[in-house]
Structure 1
Amino acid sequence: MGVYQRGAGAHVAERVQAEPGSDEEARLERLVEDTSSGWRRVDDEAAEGGGDGSGDAPKQPAKSASQAAWVEWAVSQGADRDAVKDAKRDDLIAQYGKE
């Protein structure tokens, strides 16, 4: 599955993992091609030696991060994507946030 994120510099505003062959993946690929969109394919960067390449666990998003970023975090913590995809950000923070 492709992992896409947008942001500037080290700041990640949104991170999405798209199902292969899905409409969402096609939409994100178009955004990656538009360099002004700020979107990039993260797994491509790691394969090319970009990013930190450390293989460390993902970092918890800031409390101000998007709902989508918190969904990705919850999934990385073992949550079922279908169970959390429509959850409110504050609920995800309460359940999966670590101080």
Structure 2
Amino acid sequence: MAETIYVRGEGGGIHPMDLPLPEPIEERLRKGMLQRVNEDGSLYVVPADEEPTNAGKAPAAGQQVPGLPLTQPGKNADKATWVGWAVVQGATAEEADGMTKADLIEKYGTPSTPATQSSGD
């Protein structure tokens, strides 16, 4: 028997979804465009005995969110993961989704330290 979760859609409706989620739904959840909720529509809270997996709710800047990344993704991560990271950092899901992956990395990524260049003079 598949586990069922409840997701609040963009229009506000609550929809039961069996796991594993279809890829488009999972991607929108990772981006923060959908929110994981309880059956009654109240905000889903990850039980203490489960590892936080962040199931997409609109966060306050820097707040840990079920379904969204807990740490900055690597530069090779997909755009959806970077959109989720931008949402955790305070962007709206729509704003972040409208940016390119490169723009997301530039704006929300930690600047990498430039390699020390040695002079051959």
TM-score in terms of structure 2 length:
0.43
Misfit runs of 4+, over 6 Å:
none
Identity value in percent: 29
Q: Aligned residue pairs: how many?
A: 71
The residue aligned with 1:32 is: 20
The residue aligned with 2:33 is: none
The residue aligned with 2:84 is: 72
The residue aligned with 1:3 is: none
Name the one with the larger helix percent: 1
Is 1:93 equivalent to 2:105 in the alignment? yes
Match of 2:73 among 44, 50, 61: 61
Is 1:82 equivalent to 2:94 in the alignment? yes
Structure 1 gaps, min length 5: 1-18
Name the one with the larger strand percent: 1
- Aligned residues: CA RMSD: 3.7
C-alpha contact 1:71 1:81 (8 A) present in aligned 2: yes
TM-score in terms of structure 1 length:
0.51
Structure 2 gaps, min length 5: 1-6, 30-35, 37-43, 54-62, 65-69, 112-121
Structure ranking higher on relative contact order (CA contacts 8 Å, 6+ apart): 1
